[in-house]
């Protein structure tokens, strides 16, 4: 019951007592005191609920900040808050002309799945696959799609609790323009990028990013 409803109920009660001729000074005072106590109790409960919600949010943000920092320090992940939610650039790369996830990258994918399960259960995770510019545009598009699908399959094996959508972008958005095969930096072009689409949590992510520097 809100404060307004409580005061309204008190007014109705007092009016009823007065109208029936049953209201005495003591009865009126007792009715007012009871309604005042109920009103104050309702306000205290509402205040306590707000404080508990604030504490839960602060705890969630602290946990998210710690998990993001762990991804940065342990796996050199680059994390950026975007309009849809959060973008992860995790150093998961591929051998030339290959779509197999390397065992050395399993730990990073497991950690990423853990972050999603802790903070973004039920969200949409897009796995963006990329290739270096060797080969035809069509071939690179197909290769990058297979890389994204391989990473998706690995995330599912890790128990990720989200919808995972693989999309191949071929040789678009090269990290090192022109680098392919064994060229320096070519491996950086053979990569995946994750986008966690969770608009409802965008504000929380942005707050965690600002607080974490």
Predicted local distance difference test score (pLDDT) of residue 38: 78
DSSP state of 172: -
Integer-rounded Cα radius of gyration of the chain: 29
> Please, which pLDDT band fits residue 29 given cuts at 50, 70 and 90?
confident
Residue among 111, 105, 108, 115 at smallest CA distance from 65: 115
- Rounded Cα–Cα distance for residues 45 and 50 (Å): 9
89/199: higher pLDDT: 89
**Residues 162-183: what's their mean pLDDT?**
96
- Residue 12 pLDDT level (bands cut at 50, 70, 90): low
Over residues 111-117, the mean pLDDT reads 94
pLDDT band for position 34 (50/70/90)?
A: confident
Distance CA 190, CA 169 (A): 11
| Better-predicted residue by pLDDT, 12 or 102 | 102
Q: Which pLDDT belongs to residue 45?
A: 72
* Residue 190 burial (CB count, 10 A): 27
pLDDT tier for residue 27 given thresholds of 50, 70 and 90:
confident
Span 115-157, pLDDT tens digits: 999 998 889 999 999 999 999 999 999 999 999 999 999 999 9
**What pLDDT is recorded for position 9?**
55
pLDDT value at 55 more than 60: no
Instruction: Give 180-203 pLDDT, tens digit per residue.
Output: 999 999 999 999 999 998 755 545
Look at 19-28, 43-52, 154-163 and tell me which has the smallest mean pLDDT: 19-28
> Hey, which residues does 165 pair with through a beta bridge?
126
Domain 76-212 in CATH 3.30.1330.60: yes
pTM: 0.68
How do 85-89 and 192-197 pair as beta strands? Answer: antiparallel
Helices (H), the chain: 3-19, 25-75, 106-119, 137-157, 186-189, 202-212
Euclidean distance between CA atoms 69 and 209, whole angstroms: 10
């Amino acid at each position: 019951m809100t404060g307004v409803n409580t005061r309204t109920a008190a007014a109705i009660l007092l009016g009823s007592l007065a109208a029936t001729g049953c209201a005495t000074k003591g009865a009126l005072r007792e009715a007012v005191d009871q309604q005042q106590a109920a009103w104050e109790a309702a306000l205290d409960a509402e205040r306590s609920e707000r404080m508990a919600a604030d504490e839960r949010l602060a705890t969630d943000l602290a946990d998210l900040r710690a998990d993001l920092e762990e991804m940065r320090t342990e796996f050199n992940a680059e994390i950026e808050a975007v309009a849809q939610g959060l973008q992860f650039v995790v150093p998961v790369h591929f051998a030339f002309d290959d779509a197999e996830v390397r065992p050395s990258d399993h730990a990073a994918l497991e950690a990423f799945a853990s972050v999603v399960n802790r903070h973004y259960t039920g969200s949409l995770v897009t796995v963006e696959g990329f290739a270096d510019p060797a080969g035809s545009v069509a071939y690179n598009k197909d290769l990058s799609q297979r890389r994204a699908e391989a990473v998706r399959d690995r995330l599912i094996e890790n128990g990720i609790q989200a919808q995972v959508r693989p999309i191949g972008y071929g040789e678009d958005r090269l990290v090192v323009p022109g680098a392919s095969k064994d060229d320096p930096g070519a491996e950086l072009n053979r990569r995946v990028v994750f986008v966690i689409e969770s608009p409802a949590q965008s504000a929380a992510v942005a707050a965690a990013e600002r607080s974490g520097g």
